[in-house]
Amino acid sequence: MDTSTLTIESTRSAIAEKQITATGVVEEFYRKIKADDGDIHAYLTLCEDRALQQARHIDDLAAKGGTLPPLAGVPVAIKDVMVTKGLRTTAGSKILEHFIPPYDCTAVARLEGAGAIVLGKTNCDEFAMGSSNENSAYGPVRNPRDKSRVPGGSSGGSAAAVAAGTALAALGSDTGGSIRQPASFCGVVGLMPTYGRVSRYGLIAFASSLDHIGPLTRTVQDAAIILRTIAGRDPLDSTSANVPVPDYVEEMSKPVKGLRLGIPKEYFGEGLDGETRSAVEGAIEQLRAAGCEIVPISLPHTPYAIPTYYVIATAEASANLARFDGVRYGYRSAHAHTLSEMYRKSRDEGFGAEVKRRIMLGTYALSSGYYDAYYLKAQRVRTLLTRDFEQAFQKVDAIVTPTTPTPAFKLGEKADDPLAMYLADIYTVTADLAGIPGISVPCGQTKSGLPIGLQVLGKHFDESTVLRVAGAVSLKSRT
């Protein structure tokens, strides 16, 4: 069985037609994981018993000749910031090294309910805080396209698993670019839905007003199928939106001819790698040839996105991570003699350097005397950034940009320079701040073979147009 050619639909169809079995698919993927993942380190925890039990269930349905669920037999990986009942969930942190959740994340439950098979939990930057997957307490992930380079972060394990062929699809989370940036670095598709489109119930929170769950896949159509499955109102998440979910696969069949695509000048300035610019501009010309109208636009508050993001995100992280105190669950220091000492030592020993840095930055921004100067001002700038997009979308149907300013960088290259690391997300944080959907789709590669990603951004809850444009780029890049 050649797992590298499988798609969601081909897997489901082959199982339905009894050409393969779900059990055989799972066993083949585990063989590949055991053979290849030692060098990549995309997975933190595997769950063979759970996977095989689901596979046998799918095979029983196929044997009866009934209609199979939409993701029947599809092997998926789950970023380790989404809780899974009875399966270790660490968030890439020592503080949750032995945590076994009592319930499933809604997105995971919806995948399994649709017939998908969870292979395991993927490595990530600790509490999703990072752009390289070097911040994991369990060691870095390596990029399958060049193992001397990072896969991107924080969903680096999920992107690497899909790129390496050790999962057919994966779930990631995106707070400042953590689905789209690793998708670009690894040469896969990464979709961040509109804030509220997918339930966050069971997602270990980093920054609650910025966190999104979305798929990483080999094809744009597979991303559409996964989104169709996990999207929709969830009564367990008060921030999930009660907005109808279209059939994204059907929407993708519509032509892109006549769409107006905005090209923001702020995303093509200083700092953009030459080969990346060339590949993205080539994809834009392909879209023009497909009948799209290319419209120059401006998003004038873009230069303020990184500082705005790192005030808001760290402030929310400071509040969210206060729950890890050594009392209720997670790591507890064995060297404490008083309650206050237990709090301090448990957090000091359990959290990594980047998480501590962000907690301290966020606590400072929220502290008395500084709240108005930092957090409140950042929220006001966030409103200005959102208005930039709202005004642009009065003129265009979608916006096209590079996903990242450079291809994947070397492991360790930016580890000692937090600001340089933060700037790797310069083109992605804006969409999280505005709550709009975005996707990264491969559009070429460098002379040395490193993938380059094109980003498509859309109006709130208009993932359909985003997927249509990305699908057109994907079709062109394969011809």
Closest CA to 123 of 151, 87, 147, 86: 151
Euclidean distance between CA atoms 171 and 456, whole angstroms: 19
> What band does 417 get if pLDDT is binned at 50, 70 and 90?
confident
Whether 30 and 66 have beta carbons less than 8 Å apart is answered as no
Strands 212-217 and 398-402: unpaired
> What band does 475 get if pLDDT is binned at 50, 70 and 90?
low
Taking residues 186-191, report their average pLDDT: 98
Strands 260-264 and 398-402: parallel
> What band does 36 get if pLDDT is binned at 50, 70 and 90?
very high
Residue 238 annotated among the catalytic residues of the structure:
no
Q: How far apart are the first and last CA of the chain?
A: 25
**Average pLDDT of the chain to the nearest whole number:** 96
> What band does 479 get if pLDDT is binned at 50, 70 and 90?
very low
Evaluate if residue 277 carries a pLDDT over 80: yes
Evaluate if residue 478 carries a pLDDT over 80: no
Taking residues 305-332, report their average pLDDT: 95
> What single-letter DSSP state applies at residue 132?
S
> What band does 308 get if pLDDT is binned at 50, 70 and 90?
very high
Whether 63 and 55 have beta carbons less than 8 Å apart is answered as no
Please give the CATH number for the structural domain made up of 3-252: 3.90.1300.10
> What band does 88 get if pLDDT is binned at 50, 70 and 90?
very high
Q: What is the pLDDT of residue 39?
A: 97
Instruction: Quote the Cα angle for 186-227-104, to 5°.
Output: 95
User: What are the φ/ψ torsions at residue 168 (nearest 5 degrees)?
Assistant: -80, -30
Evaluate if residue 188 carries a pLDDT over 60: yes
Q: What is the pLDDT of residue 452?
A: 98
Instruction: Quote the Cα angle for 338-341-347, to 5°.
Output: 140
Q: Which residue has the tokens 């599809």?
A: 74
- The answer, yes or no, to whether the previous bond of 154 is cis (omega within 30 of 0) is yes
Closest CA to 345 of 356, 353, 330, 334: 334
> What band does 450 get if pLDDT is binned at 50, 70 and 90?
very high
Taking residues 209-223, report their average pLDDT: 98
Evaluate if residue 99 carries a pLDDT over 50: yes
> What single-letter DSSP state applies at residue 263?
E
In sequence order, what are the residues at sequence separation of 6 or more whose Cβ sits closer than 8 angstroms to the Cβ of residue 478? none
> What band does 297 get if pLDDT is binned at 50, 70 and 90?
very high
Domain ranges of the chain: 3-252
Q: What is the pLDDT of residue 416?
A: 85
Closest CA to 119 of 30, 42, 180: 30
Could you please report the per-residue DSSP string of 392-418? HTTT-SEEEEESSSSSPPBTTSSTT-H
Whether 58 and 72 have beta carbons less than 8 Å apart is answered as yes
Evaluate if residue 78 carries a pLDDT over 90: yes
Closest CA to 112 of 171, 200, 172, 175: 171
Residue 477 annotated among the catalytic residues of the structure:
no
Closest CA to 304 of 433, 161, 206, 475: 433
Distances, alpha carbon 454 to alpha carbons 10, 183, 257, 354, 441, in Å:
26, 10, 19, 28, 5
Evaluated on CA atoms 104, 108, 114, 116, the torsion sign reads negative
- Residue with the larger pLDDT of the pair 113 and 479: 113
Q: What is the pLDDT of residue 415?
A: 85
Evaluate if residue 71 carries a pLDDT over 90: yes
Evaluate if residue 289 carries a pLDDT over 50: yes
> What band does 447 get if pLDDT is binned at 50, 70 and 90?
very high
At 383-406, the pLDDT tens digits run 999 999 999 999 999 999 999 999
Catalytic residue among 132, 158, 173, 178: 178
Euclidean distance between CA atoms 395 and 437, whole angstroms: 17
Element (H, E) at 293: strand 293-297
> What single-letter DSSP state applies at residue 205?
P
> What band does 302 get if pLDDT is binned at 50, 70 and 90?
very high
Catalytic residue among 132, 154, 155, 318: 154
In sequence order, what are the residues at sequence separation of 6 or more whose Cβ sits closer than 8 angstroms to the Cβ of residue 208? 200, 239, 316, 320
Grouping H, G, I as helix, E, B as strand and the rest as coil, residue 458 is strand
Taking residues 356-362, report their average pLDDT: 96
Residue 410 annotated among the catalytic residues of the structure:
no
